[in-house]
Amino acid sequence: MTRIPLLLLFLVAWLAVFAQTQFPTVTDWIGSPVSILPALTIYAALSHSIGIVTGFCIVSALSLDSLSANRLGVSLLPLFLCAFVTHARQHLILRDQAYARFWLGLGSGVAVPLLTRLLLTLGARQPLGDVVGVELILSGVVNAVACPLCFAAFDRLRELFEYKPILESSYRADRQIKRGRH
Amino acid sequence: MAACTVVVLALVLLNLPVGAASRVKLAFSGLFLPIFGLAGASQSFVDRASYSLLTRDTLIAEVERLKKENDALLLTAAQARDLLSENNRLRSAVGWTNRVPWKARLTRVIAREPTAFWRGATLDFGANDGARLQMPVITRDGLAGRIRAVTASQAQVALLGDPECGVSVIVQETRDLGILQDVRSSAAGDGMVTIRLLQSSPTVLAGHHVLTSGLGGVFPRGITVGEIVDTRQIDGGLYTEARVRLAANLNRLEEVFVLLP
């Protein structure tokens, strides 16, 4: 199996973190910076092994914290918790259904910033804003939309890079054994 | 197994000493240096391309406008030099130390705070360029914040309204002292912050100007912070709280000045 889709998943996460630090006009317009890492994490959790999911969460969370004023590592637990629960329950999740992807994106989009905020409130510096703020709603909506798109895009990529199954049948008409008189 | 690894790693990271955590952050933020460079180069390319589209008439009009503005600024600077020397003479006469003019370094904002929990920005100005912790950051309109973390090539700024950017301020008209502190507003902000005056002051009114007081040792005295929008009495009338519209537009920062010691 080729590793290109996996590398692209990490690349997209890296670009998503970078994009969060850019485009102030968009941030002003929607009112808050929004991350699509929860949606990408859900995709990773339902498509890869737990080792890869863990690596993805560590790299994404530390990249985000390194560009932020967050305490280092504070984004890791919420992101991994979402990924771990989803991965552990993947046999119960209808991965190929758009509505399942939507609700998973919505749930992770709300849960990750909420848990991160709760962790930050345990520290010495209190974060800005309220516990239930505009950013939670925005994050939920954006990730609910982004999650099905991530699945569609990365599944398509996997199809492009993976070996295709042979569609033609092994049955050959010229080698058919015919019984009876001819 | 994976869950245990992550929990242990998170606990280790959260309990790292400040210096070690900064080094790990530096290592990870280094992953973004190529893309920051690429973004900067693309921005310059787009700017240059847009300049080439300008007509000759537009450029001549712009040069004329800048010449006039330069003449006006030279006149203002000459008046300011005269006033400064007069001020220094008077201060010497009464035995006060002279005010030191600000030394400012223009730098570019290369990134915004990626989360909604803090109000910050990253500058293309690091320890190699002379950046140090706590250096004030201003725009031409007013105070923006202070440097809260420095790496070799970049500096992170805590902008006004961030919990790490408390400022001692003074109301210019009434000379009332106050503190601009954590405002519990959203990180995107609406250009407003709250100051708490050190005592109840009914004479502070909307439209009054707020400046840095120079107390606290981080910000020099007299930097414009903003204008009071409204006031209210709090804690049974013991204190006055005022909402202030910031002079600097923190949502549109592109270039800022770092004040050097």
What is the spatial distance between Cα A168 and Cα B199, in angstroms, rounded to a whole number? 86
Residue B70 one-letter amino acid: N
What is the spatial distance between Cα B29 and Cα A20, in angstroms, rounded to a whole number? 14
- B14 phi and psi angles, rounded to 5 deg: -70, -25
Identify all chain B residues contacting A142, using CB atoms and an 8 Å cutoff.
none
pLDDT per residue as tens digits for the range B185-236: 554 466 788 888 877 777 888 888 999 988 888 888 889 999 998 888 887 7
Contact B113 A68 (CB under 8 A): yes
What distances in angstroms separate CA B125 from CA B147, B152, B257, B258, one per listed residue? 10, 8, 10, 9
Contact A72 B24 (CB under 8 A): yes
Contact B24, B16 (CB under 8 A): yes
Classify residue B53 by its DSSP letter. T
Q: Which domain holds residue B147?
A: 103-162+255-260
What is the spatial distance between Cα A156 and Cα B38, in angstroms, rounded to a whole number? 28
Last residue of a domain, one of B17, B37, B52: B52
Q: Which of 109-128 (A) contact B at CB < 8 A? A: 113, 116-117, 120, 125-128
Q: Work out the pLDDT band at A161, boundaries 50, 70, 90.
A: confident
Average predicted confidence (pLDDT) for chain A: 86
Q: ipTM, 2 decimals?
A: 0.79
In a shared domain, residues B207 and B141: no
In a shared domain, residues B177 and B226: yes
Residue B70 lies in a domain: no
User: Which one is predicted more confidently, B157 or B151?
Assistant: B157
Closest listed residue to residue A62, CA positions, set B34, B157, B158, B6:
B6
CB atoms within 10 A of CB B72: 10
What is the spatial distance between Cα A41 and Cα A54, in angstroms, rounded to a whole number? 10
In a shared domain, residues B119 and B176: no
How close, in Å, is residue A32 to chain B by CA atoms? 5
CB atoms within 10 A of CB B250: 26
Classify residue A91 by its DSSP letter. G
Phi-psi region of B53 (alpha: psi -120 to 50; beta: other; left: phi over 0): alpha
Q: Which of A14, A32, A53 sits opposite B116 (nearest CB)?
A: A32
Last residue of a domain, one of B34, B52, B70: B52
Contact B212, B222 (CB under 8 A): yes
Average predicted confidence (pLDDT) for chain B: 86
Q: What local confidence, expressed as pLDDT, does residue B99 receive?
A: 74
Can you name the residues that pair with B150 across neighbouring β-strands?
B155
Residue B84 lies in a domain: no
How close, in Å, is residue A112 to chain B by CA atoms? 12
Q: Which of A65, A80, A133 sits opposite B25 (nearest CB)?
A: A65
What is the spatial distance between Cα A117 and Cα A107, in angstroms, rounded to a whole number? 16
**Residue-range domain boundaries for chain A:** 4-175
What is the spatial distance between Cα B252 and Cα B128, in angstroms, rounded to a whole number? 26
Classify residue A164 by its DSSP letter. P
The CATH code of the domain that includes B190 is 2.40.10.350
Contact B33, B153 (CB under 8 A): yes
Contact A135, B116 (CB under 8 A): yes
Calculate mean pLDDT across residues B62-82: 94
pLDDT at B135 over 70: yes
Can you name the residues that pair with B108 across neighbouring β-strands?
B255
DSSP 3-state percent helix, strand, coil across chain B (nearest 5): 35, 30, 35
